[in-house]
Structure 1
Amino acid sequence: MAFEPRQTRVAGAARRWAAAVLAACETWLERERDHVPLWLPVGFGVGIAAWFILPDPMAWAAFCTLSLAVGVAGALLPHGGRLRRMIVAAGLLAAAGCLIIWIKAAALGTAPLARPAFVALDGRIAAVEPLPAQAMTRLMIRPVGRPDLPDRIRVNVADQDWQPFMTTGAVIRFRARLMPPAPPAVPGAYDFAQRAYFQGIGATGRALPPIERITPASVQTEPLRQRLSRHIQSRVEGGAGAIAATLATGDRGAISEEDAEAMRRSGLAHLLSISGLHVTALVGAVIFLLFRVMALSPRAALHWPLMLIAALGGALAGIGYTLMTGADVPTIRSCIAALLVLGALALGREAITLRLIAAGAIFVLCLWPESLVGPSFQMSFAAVIAIVALAEHPVFRAITHARDEGWPWRLARGILALFLTGVAVELVLAPIALYHFHQAGVLGSLANLIAIPLTTFVIMPFEALALILDGIGLLPGLSLGTPAWWVVEQALRLLLWLAHAVSAQPYAVALLPTFGKLPFALVVAGGLWCLLWRTRWRWIGLLPVAAGSIMMATTPSPDLIVTGDGRHLAVRTAGGMALLRDRAGDYVRDAMAESAGMDGAVLALADLPDARCNADMCAVLLSSGHERWRLLATRSRDLVDPAALAAACRAADIVVSDRRLPRSCVPRWLKLDRAMLGRTGGVAITLRNRSLRTVRMPGDAHPWMLYDSIRQKGSHDGMAPRRNSDPRPYAAR
């Protein structure tokens, strides 16, 4: 009997095990049935993200095919199950997301200018954006009779070159040196080229005098947004007036860089972007006022649907506010969310739910799929999801639920609710801020305890009141809104003082160097798992969150950062960054500091003790662990003796230059000259593990890339370690 064959086969046991697992999944999904639809925008977003991550059309087509295959495989599961429907929907949504961004990029994007060009052109002004803080005005130009140029170009006009006839609709003639929209200067920096492609901007430059008028504008009236912004700044001066204009019109051009940086470091920068807070405050105020005014009439109170009429008025106010402030994507997104909430109120449904947020996300991704990879979309939806998920948690409700108690206790509960909400939002937004900006506010939840109530209940209501009183002034030269403007000015000065005080604290900001997409994806996936489910299995999402956070925290800061043009180079030292050209502009300095995750002093490379520099080159000895590396960087365009250059290159491990170096220049490890950097873009180097991060990856065929500079044969030939008789890095002699 011991040698008889087993009655239970392995295949049968596997089928029973699979059936048990499937049954357990179905039981769990049945308990989570109300939250399954929340994953629809996630599946759609995965396809959009895949298009941005994958390099070329073959990879995009392969992803769509794989997604459809996943959907077909899901259809093989037993009928009637939720898991079957979820897998089929996930495959279809991922393929649809990849296709919709692919189609939009091909059909509606604007190809960048092929190469820099100095041109003289006639152009019609499509938009005017004053930037007083930068002493210039930005014009959006549509070239006339120039098929060789992109349909839209953006040029800056210095204040001293400004002419009164430069209004929307006018045709002007000028000279300009046009450039393609700039790619990231270094890995992890802001990618303006990608954003400009979807905004329809094909080139940027500066208009040079003389600027002539060819055809005047058909309408000479200044746009309402600019008139309103100028009026507000005439009532409130200085930085307070610039922020007051931003809150009312979305015009941020007058905010100084110091104030903007303080708002960012203190976690209050969200107040400067016309988004959910501003639209909600306006819509809520209009609804409140309309409802109260109509309720004064007994006939209206008894026979009219007051809430429906007030909601309609609030919706019209929100739409008008969105159009006046420029109709940017964040503002449109906030307006759509407000309209959905008003629609739910009108239908008698619960207004603020995660399903409503999911519907808004799908709507935005269908119209603006490119917004998925931007910080605005990610931070706004992450913050709202965190707030609603926290509000729905039973523990939070038990702590903050209103009770029949004295006003001190009600006030304390309100402050506690605001603080807990701020902490939750800061925790959710921190990974997004670290990924995009390489810094996150640590004290933002405390600063927002004061800033949000101050903005919502003091600044914006009194600013609206002041504008209304200014509009109905009875006596010439007398502003009825002066008292209200005084309140606004004092409140804004308090807000700016708070921002500067918080940002000045030594631990106000957490800094991290640029890290990869994998840790960010792990944190986002785990965070969504925790926030969108409701049973105890939700906490499994903490595992990828922890793994991604550890990867972020342990990412080493690069030892060497080189910009894409090779002109600027930064070396990380114990005292801060050492720059090859210490006269580099603020943009280059900030980009390098953020990429390295550093906030220290800026030094000159020539002042380092292990550096030897002359007018043409700098040779620096770098230390990393027990190894020593010799860096050689050129500083001028003057002719260098070929034999001396070849000898210097042989003695160096890394050579960096903004010129094309001859073949005789062969360093021990890495040669980053003009030809090489033209293919890779900016480079960040970590010497400890000999790793390189580049702006451009081999074979990247996204349409905003300049094909002639990235599709050259052997794009990474210069990055391979060059072997010689001594494979070790240069040792100090």
Structure 2
Amino acid sequence: MNKSAAGVALGLLSLHFWLALPTYHGFITALMIGSVVCFFFRWRLLIYIAIGACLANLAATSYLKNVQLAFIEPRNITIVGEVSSLLNHKKLDTLFDFVTSELRQQGKHSSKTLHLRLSWHDPDNVPMMKQGERWVLKIRLKPPTGRVNRAGYDRERQFVGQGIHATGVVLSGRRLESGQNDRASLRQSVFDIAVDDTNELAHQRYLLALGFGYRDGLLDEDWGLLRDSGLAHLMAISGLHIGLAIMLGWWCGGVLRNVAGDWPQAIWLPLWLGVGTGALYAWLAGFTLPTQRALLMSMVALILLRLRIVWPSWQVLLLAFTLSLVLDPLASYNAGFWLSFSAVAVIAIVHAGGVRFDSHPELTVFQHWYGRLKALVLLQLSLLALMLPVQWLWFGGFSPWAPVINLLAVPWVSMTTVPLVLAAVIFSPIEPIALTCWQLADLTLTPVLKLAQIARGGWWTLAESQGGWVLSATAIVILLWLLPLKRFAAVISILVILAGVWNKQGPENQRDIETWQVDMLDVGHGLAVLISSNNRSVLYDTGNRWPGGSIASSVIEPVLKQSGQSQLDGLILSHADSDHAAGAEYLVETFAPLWKRSSDFRDGYLPCTRGESWRWQSLHFRVLWPPKQVTRAANPHSCVIEIKQFFSINENNKGSGQETEGVSLLLTGDIDAVSELLLARLEPNLSPDILLVPHHGSRSSSTTTWLNKMGWLGNMSPNFALVSVARYNPWQLPSAEVRQRYLDRGVNWLATSKTGQVSLQISGGDIQVIRYRQDRKAAWFRPAISQE
């Protein structure tokens, strides 16, 4: 059983780590052939691995087949199906999940099950929808694409983990009166009652998350607080809460068993009532991954108990891990999957290591509670240390406050808040009891959230270069746990020294003043360009923002912190449009730039106008446009900057004044045709090696006159043309005509809509291009986007 479960799990996980789908198919074929060979030689483990890999291949093929529909159906189509996400009737959401049962196109009807994430086209005219209702919708589909950057939120990966096949915009729709799904509608009905009962409570959004797994009500500041304090796992229905529900059901079953007396079947009442209570709570949460894991583990343990079979905890965990992947092979692309199983694995390791909460009759009361407190402290410290690699890989950091806050908050929430929330849900039909339970649950959250405030801003980001330290620290903690320090002190000391030497020799410590980098971040429609040298950066534009978030916080901040930068050397705003400057305040507050420049009048900003120039690292910045500052800079007033490298011919010539020019970059913002013409007259010999295409490739810029009049040879032919643009944008940017102008000049065209983040690593006169969608984060599930 152990080998078969491990083999199937390894085969299923091969999907997670394999990149290109054609290569993956070859891998599957090799495994299938290998399994035949293994059958004759009785290598059973590899047979199970092949079975798991085939199941993973089936899941991947099915997912991609459904995703392809969004590519082949660019026109409007009509769908019939069911609303699958909980919706708050007090807050009309424009975004919802939908499962189709029928597609109607060109007079033909076909049965098709697709999981879609839809939004209404007109946010001011959104009808009230409820989970379980059946609707006929007219929509326009898009493939599940997202921004691809060096760090930050990976929307495409999350779509895979959630099984979302496409996104779309709803143009119109009507509700079907018949065919209601009673089971789903029941959950929505209970949720609606809870929304009304908690409407006046201060912590309503947290209570709804605890009761129903409804996290759409949590604000960005709430998520920041939960992340910094390490309490994010408590504010949604997790495996811990399912375990508490099962324990509550077990206790009630024990009471009923005593009441039933000698009835033979009553002996199993605690088991089945515990499973039933856990399943009910998991249903309220929509059977999320953590709840599935907890239910599977509980059911396996109860079946083993019923059959009087004794298994160690790691075997139960392995079987639940495998069953979870068999039920949903794509679950491994969800962060919650790894966090859930990793946490349980750490608890199992700690328990196997001798840290237990058992009590002995001969202990005094003081010794009893001291032992439990010590066990809790060791458990929290173990979770912090051993979960560090998972936290770093998925979230790029950790909360050092988590052990202390969880030590106090977990028992309190488990013993007070969760039972009260469960009671409120169970007694929903009896309004006075339900209201009382909700109010008490709200009161119990007050001290927890006040405690969490202590850790606000306490999230520690770990740079990519610190990954070696993370793995080394975790390995050393495991060794200290397994090996007695007194007997193996010399071995552990040598390993610590080797880890320090290995991490110190990383490439981040090698300085080369002739190397710099240009990163055009994938920000959708907008612009954000990082110019970096010696792990210091200057930012040109900040991207857009929206209610509750911004490009500055979701893209720029993760990229900077992953590279280990906590401060910007400089910030330049090309002009005042929101897609270029909306994140300025956030970045100034978070990264405190040493200097700031803009082409309009702003407090604390130096002018970014023609004639300004400065040196930074080995780079020379020269402002070419606009001629003067304005009150509010629009597109024609965009700050145009030429950045050119000057470096010594060799190291011995430093300080001798013998410098040569290197690669040059021209940042153009959103200048229009008139600005281009005037700039061409002022700078007739301008010929950059790298050009930021003006105004996202709009027809109003990159005129033939401008391109022909500039440059030493009578026209401008840069080696690379960079375009920051969103895919499926409503303006159909970049213009095909503009793109062709550059291609006719032999220019390498790089658009973020096709490549994701574009990084140009420049050393001397050499330019190395990295396209993150194709070169660094290529994966079988990413749409194959051509440059055509």
With the shorter chain as reference, the TM-score category is: 0.7 to 0.9
Asked if 2 retains the 8 angstrom alpha-carbon contact of 1:617 and 1:632, the reply is no
Aligned to 1:511: 461
Secondary structure at 1:602 match in 2: helix
Q: Deviations over 1:197-247 (max 9, x none)?
A: 575533323435xx4526434439782323323333333345522221221
1:635 pairs with 2:669: yes
1:659 to 697, 701, 712: 697
Asked if 2 retains the 8 angstrom alpha-carbon contact of 1:375 and 1:433, the reply is no
Please, what TM-score do these two structures have when normalized by structure 1?
A: 0.74
Instruction: Supply the distance in 1 between the matched residues of 2:125 and 2:518 (Cα, whole angstroms).
Output: 42
1:280 to 229, 232, 243: 243
> How big is the shift at 1:179?
3.0
Matched ranges for 1:339-378 at <5 A: 339-350=299-310, 353-378=313-338
1:270 pairs with 2:197: no
Identity %: 16
2:350 to 390, 396, 408: 390
Aligned to 1:490: 443
1:409 to 360, 364, 367: 367
1:240 to 196, 203, 211: 203
Aligned to 1:105: 60
Q: Deviations over 1:25-56 (max 9, x none)?
A: xxxxxxxxxxxx76765554554444444443
Of structures 1 and 2, the one with the larger relative CO (CA 8 A, separation 6+) is: 1
Instruction: Supply the distance in 2 between the matched residues of 1:545 and 1:51 (Cα, whole angstroms).
Output: 34
| Matching residue's letter, 2:177 | P
Aligned to 2:522: 563
When residues 410 and 480 of structure 1 are mapped into structure 2, their CA distance, relative to the original with a 3 A threshold, is: same
Instruction: Supply the distance in 2 between the matched residues of 1:72 and 1:551 (Cα, whole angstroms).
Output: 47
Asked if 1 retains the 8 angstrom alpha-carbon contact of 2:211 and 2:284, the reply is no
Instruction: Supply the distance in 1 between the matched residues of 2:716 and 2:29 (Cα, whole angstroms).
Output: 46
When residues 108 and 268 of structure 1 are mapped into structure 2, their CA distance, relative to the original with a 3 A threshold, is: same
Instruction: Supply the distance in 2 between the matched residues of 1:570 and 1:63 (Cα, whole angstroms).
Output: 39
Secondary structure at 1:560 match in 2: strand
Instruction: Supply the distance in 1 between the matched residues of 2:776 and 2:503 (Cα, whole angstroms).
Output: 30
Instruction: Supply the distance in 2 between the matched residues of 1:118 and 1:45 (Cα, whole angstroms).
Output: 40
Instruction: Supply the distance in 2 between the matched residues of 1:447 and 1:624 (Cα, whole angstroms).
Output: 52
1:223 pairs with 2:182: no
Q: Which stretch shifts more, 223-232 or 189-198?
A: 189-198
When residues 494 and 563 of structure 1 are mapped into structure 2, their CA distance, relative to the original with a 3 A threshold, is: same
Tell me, which stretches of 5 or more residues in structure 2 are unaligned? 510-515, 568-585, 589-595, 599-604, 609-613, 615-620, 627-636, 649-660, 708-714, 725-733, 735-748
Q: Which stretch shifts more, 331-340 or 163-172?
A: 163-172
Q: Which stretch shifts more, 592-601 or 97-106?
A: 592-601
Aligned to 1:127: 84
Instruction: Supply the distance in 2 between the matched residues of 1:377 and 1:515 (Cα, whole angstroms).
Output: 26
1:456 to 403, 411, 414: 414
Secondary structure at 1:111 match in 2: helix
When residues 166 and 119 of structure 1 are mapped into structure 2, their CA distance, relative to the original with a 3 A threshold, is: farther
Secondary structure at 1:327 match in 2: coil
1:170 pairs with 2:134: yes
Aligned to 1:682: 757
| Matching residue's letter, 1:291 | G
Secondary structure at 1:594 match in 2: helix
Instruction: Supply the distance in 1 between the matched residues of 2:150 and 2:454 (Cα, whole angstroms).
Output: 31
Asked if 2 retains the 8 angstrom alpha-carbon contact of 1:121 and 1:173, the reply is yes
> How big is the shift at 1:561?
4.8
Secondary structure at 1:354 match in 2: helix
Instruction: Supply the distance in 2 between the matched residues of 1:353 and 1:368 (Cα, whole angstroms).
Output: 23
Aligned to 2:98: 140
> How big is the shift at 1:330?
2.9
2:587 to 574, 587, 602: 602
- Higher share in helix: 1
Aligned to 1:28: none
Asked if 2 retains the 8 angstrom alpha-carbon contact of 1:130 and 1:136, the reply is no
1:337 pairs with 2:337: no
1:315 to 275, 298, 304: 275
Asked if 2 retains the 8 angstrom alpha-carbon contact of 1:186 and 1:694, the reply is no
Aligned to 1:440: 398
Aligned to 2:739: none
Aligned to 1:499: 452
When residues 183 and 542 of structure 1 are mapped into structure 2, their CA distance, relative to the original with a 3 A threshold, is: farther
> How big is the shift at 1:656?
6.2
When residues 659 and 578 of structure 1 are mapped into structure 2, their CA distance, relative to the original with a 3 A threshold, is: same
Instruction: Supply the distance in 1 between the matched residues of 2:438 and 2:214 (Cα, whole angstroms).
Output: 18
| Matching residue's letter, 1:119 | N
Q: Deviations over 1:501-532 (max 9, x none)?
A: 3123xxx212134579x969978997999799
When residues 527 and 359 of structure 1 are mapped into structure 2, their CA distance, relative to the original with a 3 A threshold, is: farther
Instruction: Supply the distance in 1 between the matched residues of 2:151 and 2:190 (Cα, whole angstroms).
Output: 37
Instruction: Supply the distance in 2 between the matched residues of 1:121 and 1:455 (Cα, whole angstroms).
Output: 46
Matched ranges for 1:58-137 at <5 A: 58-64=22-28, 88-89=43-44, 91-109=46-64, 110-112=66-68, 113-114=70-71, 117=74, 119=76, 121=78, 123-130=80-87, 135-137=93-95
> How big is the shift at 1:617?
5.3
> How big is the shift at 1:320?
2.8
Q: Which stretch shifts more, 421-430 or 92-101?
A: 92-101
When residues 376 and 183 of structure 1 are mapped into structure 2, their CA distance, relative to the original with a 3 A threshold, is: same
| Matching residue's letter, 1:580 | D
Aligned to 1:480: 433
When residues 679 and 519 of structure 1 are mapped into structure 2, their CA distance, relative to the original with a 3 A threshold, is: farther
When residues 57 and 327 of structure 1 are mapped into structure 2, their CA distance, relative to the original with a 3 A threshold, is: same
Instruction: Supply the distance in 1 between the matched residues of 2:433 and 2:697 (Cα, whole angstroms).
Output: 64
Q: How many residues align?
A: 648
When residues 74 and 391 of structure 1 are mapped into structure 2, their CA distance, relative to the original with a 3 A threshold, is: same
Instruction: Supply the distance in 2 between the matched residues of 1:226 and 1:330 (Cα, whole angstroms).
Output: 21
Aligned to 2:687: 650
> How big is the shift at 1:257?
2.0
> How big is the shift at 1:354?
0.4
1:381 to 331, 341, 365: 341
Aligned to 1:619: 641
Secondary structure at 1:186 match in 2: coil
Please, what TM-score do these two structures have when normalized by structure 2?
A: 0.69
> How big is the shift at 1:577?
7.6
